A and B are shown apart, each in its own frame.
Chain A
Amino acid sequence: GDSVTQMEGPVTLSEEAFLTINCTYTATGYPSLFWYVQYPGEGLQLLLKATKADDKGSNKGFEATYRKETTSFHLEKGSVQVSDSAVYFCALSDQTGTYKYIFGTGTRLKVLA
């Protein structure tokens, strides 16, 4: 079945450092790919999405490119802030008509001032 694999956390960075969180997927067909962010005590917020190969999703300085050849959707940000500290989830939307999400296990990011 479909699956999503994310790099294990926690990831600890200093403010203004470069961030990469790796995400790879296994799926039949061509799923849409998503990054969601979860702040402590809150639900998931959509960060960005991409719906087809070579699409780049971007939002709030975060970017991710849909790479079909490597089945990857790595999240990047050039300069992180303390306020980016959260758990980040990579997900795919199954294409069977349900559009249910398959999530990775999440990567906790901690940014130090």
Chain B
Amino acid sequence: DTGVSQDPRHKITKRGQNVTFRCDPISEHNRLYWYRQTLGQGPEFLTYFQNEAQLEKSRLLSDRFSAERPKGSFSTLEIQRTEQGDSAMYLCASSLAGTRFTDTQYFGPGTRLTVL
């Protein structure tokens, strides 16, 4: 069990550019969540996957955001035409649904995005 990993850890981009983040969950975990955390705030839910299916998206996830989880393993979060308001820490978490630990999520170290 190597934990949840995220790449890159830091990303600086210019407004209008596209960025993509990757999350590798704990290997046997079938659920994967994305959250966004702005400075001084708690994380806010963006979207989640059960295996490869994206089952819920928050209203925070505008049309410029898209997430995928091909083959139910790693996931990517892409932001198109970035805006300064997208600057935040993007956190990924995974869990094992269908067990008594369904509601326990394990978080990665996050990707800090800065949009100039």
Contacts and interface: CB of A to CB of B under 8 A. Distances in A.
Interface of A: 4, 32, 34, 36, 41-46, 49, 51, 89, 91, 93, 98-106
26 contacts: A4-B42, A34-B104, A36-B107, A42-B110, A43-B4, A43-B6, A43-B91, A43-B110, A44-B43, A46-B105, A46-B106, A98-B55, A98-B56, A99-B31, A99-B102, A99-B103, A99-B105, A100-B56, A101-B35, A101-B43, A101-B45, A101-B93, A101-B105, A103-B42, A103-B44, A104-B42
Nearest to A103: B42
Contacts of A103: 42-44
Q: Interface residues of B toward A: which range?
A: 20 to 34
A45 B48 contact: no
Closest 8 CB pairs of A and B: A103-B42, A93-B103, A44-B107, A43-B107, A43-B109, A100-B45, A32-B103, A99-B103
A69 to B, nearest CB: 22
B33 interface: yes
B87 interface: no
The A contact surface, by secondary structure, is strand
A98 B54 CA distance: 11
Nearest to A4: B42
B56 A44 contact: no
Contact of B42 (A42, A46, A99, A105): A105
B25 to A, nearest CB: 13
A46 B107 CA distance: 8
B22 to A, nearest CB: 15
Nearest to B45: A100
B85 interface: no
A64 B43 CA distance: 21
Nearest to A92: B103
Contacts of A104: 42
Contacts of A32: 103
Contacts of B97: 99
Given A93-B103, A100-B48, A44 B91 contact: yes
Interface in B1-55: 4, 6, 31, 33, 35, 40-45, 48, 55
